[in-house]
Structure 1
Amino acid sequence: MIDHVRDLASVREATDRLLTAVAKLDNGAVAEASRLPGWTRGHLLTHIARNADALGNVLRGLPMYVSGEARDADIDSGAGRPLDAQLADLRESADRLMETAGAVDDWTRTVTLRNGVTDAAARIPFRRLTEVALHHVDLGIGYELADLPDDLLGREIDYLAQRFSGHADLPSVTVTATDGRQWHTGRADGRAVTLTGTAPALLGWLAGRGDRGAGLETGGAPLPALPPL
């Protein structure tokens, strides 16, 4: 069940964790490459800040971004800023999002994100939580998938497994964590490929992070290639 109150509290914790980690960097580290192809850490930090503003727009019933081009231009223009400016932007944009969330009076309504995607308003805090947590990993500064809270690992695996469920370009896949949790994704027909591994490794495969499934057991079958998110 979606619990936006719990998720907002988790967003605060994840944001504080990110701010504490980023504050230990210097201007040179901000300019270095992140784990996302073509993006420096400055690009990624700017994106996290602009995502907070974009989700605030969503909660207010406004377009998430003016346009895809404007979104990309904002990230490019902010990428080269020094550490102190990046930190201030991260903190202030996060505060604005929390202020907007605090004014929401109907969390049951449907909201619109990018490209016409719709979701329940109550799921926006979870979307923000995964954005902050996964991009913290993408910074490549010592925070890894294995450091994510276990509850978040399971919920994000569940979310991505559902997102790929029924996808014609993905065979039937049974995803089994070493702790016994299990999910199903891909096509409903055909013999299922069984992937077994730790929850961080499974999330790495589903989210395109880390070694992208290289450590998973497949029972001898080839590792299925995931379609684009």
Structure 2
Amino acid sequence: MTAITPDALLAELHKAADAVSSLAAKLTEADVPAPSALPGWTRGHVLAHITGISNAMARQLEYAARGETVELYDGGYDGRTKAIEMNAGHALEQHRADLDTALERALRAFDSLAADAGAASGNAAAAGAGSWHAPISYRGGVVLDGGFALWRELVIHASDLNTGRGSETWSRPFCEHLFSFLAARVPEDQKLVLQPLGMPPVTIGTGGRSTVISGMITDIAAWLAGREPSLGSLRASAAADGVDLPELLPWPAGVPAK
């Protein structure tokens, strides 16, 4: 799998934000309370969540630029949930205004990052505030981790809006990123050999029980992300026999539930 550079990630963030804005622009007022692809959530819930995570990640970078850290959401997981429920029922015009403002804020924060010469040269001391390797509180990581997190949120939740833009639109780099990030969902006793059609296999997990998951790369990524595969190509096998798809562990949440 090819590593994604900060410059490439920045370009992907802009593309993902544009896609979300474009989808929101096509919604009607009646679309907002309609079901999304997520159980129990309307499209309004998804829009409110995208707005919330965009503002939250922008805040991570704004504090990092000052050499400080702050929790991802005000009030933690409970604060996140309350904000989504409170804002989900907003009128479409309000959703669009809030979403555009949040996306602009997040992109502005990432666009303003200084060139990370210190990290590139291996000099950690030179990689200071305002860089891709400045510390943030999200997962105890750095700004680059926050960039990948926002990329995941924008791309996946664009599909969750249930407007016809499914996982079949996910790019190969994005799917390969999910293979790596979502390896945390593989149970300890299992190993998954991911076999995208026409591509080299990727093994995730270190357990003794091996299952081959084959299909289109987007279907495999969607399944790992807990979404319905769009193309229906997914197959699982063990010792050359067809088997049920294995159960996965929960999504590795960045905000601990209380």
On whether the aligned pair clears a TM of 0.5, the verdict is yes
- The alignment partner of 2:84 has SS state of helix
Q: CA RMSD in A?
A: 2.0
CA contact (8 A) 2:167 2:229 kept: no
Task: Name the TM-score, length of structure 1 as normaliser.
Answer: 0.89
Letter in 2 for 1:201: D
Paired letter, 1:44: V
Please show how residues 1-229 of structure 1 align to structure 2 within 5 Å. Answer: 1-59=3-61, 60=63, 61-67=69-75, 68-104=77-113, 105-113=130-138, 117-161=139-183, 163-164=184-185, 167-168=187-188, 171-186=190-205, 188-211=206-229, 215-219=233-237, 220-229=242-251
Which ranges of structure 2 fall in alignment gaps of 5 or more residues? 64-68, 114-129, 252-258
CA contact (8 A) 1:44 1:135 kept: yes
TM-score by length of 2: 0.79
Paired residues in the alignment total 222
Partners of 2:236 and 2:89 lie apart in 1 by 43
Contact persistence 1:158–1:183 (CA under 8 A): no
Please report how far the alpha carbon of residue 91 of structure 1 lies from its aligned counterpart in structure 2 after TM superposition: 0.7
Contact 1:173 1:193 in 2 (8 A): yes
Residue type matched to 1:194 in 2?
V
- SS in structure 1 opposite 2:37? coil
CA distance in 2, matches of 1:73, 1:164: 27
1:202–1:213 contact (8 Å) kept in structure 2: no
SS state at 2:202 partner: strand
Query: Which amino acid in structure 1 is aligned with residue 39 of structure 2?
Result: P
- Give the drift of 1:52: 0.6
Matched residue of 1:23: which SS?
helix
Which has the larger displacement, 98-107 or 134-143?
Answer: 98-107
Structure 1 stretch displaced more, 18-27 or 40-49: 18-27
Quick check: which has more Rg, 1 or 2? 2
Secondary structure of the corresponding residue to residue 141 of structure 2: strand
Q: How many Å apart are 1:62 and its aligned residue?
A: 1.5
Q: Deviations over 1:111-150 (max 9, x none)?
A: 222xxx2223113222111111100101110101111222
Determine helix, strand or coil for the equivalent of 2:40: coil
Structure 2: distance between partners of 1:118 and 1:179? 37
Task: Tell me how far 1:213 sits from its aligned partner.
Answer: 10
Deviations 1:187-214 (A, max 9, x none): x242411111111110121011014997
How high is the sequence identity, in percent, across the aligned residues? 26
Give secondary structure in 1 for the equivalent of 2:235. Answer: coil
- 1:77-117, CA deviations, whole angstroms, 9 ceiling, x for partnerless residues? 1111111111111110011112222444222233222xxx2
For 2:227 and 2:60, the matched residues in 1 are separated by 27
The Cα of 1:164 is off from its aligned counterpart by 3.3
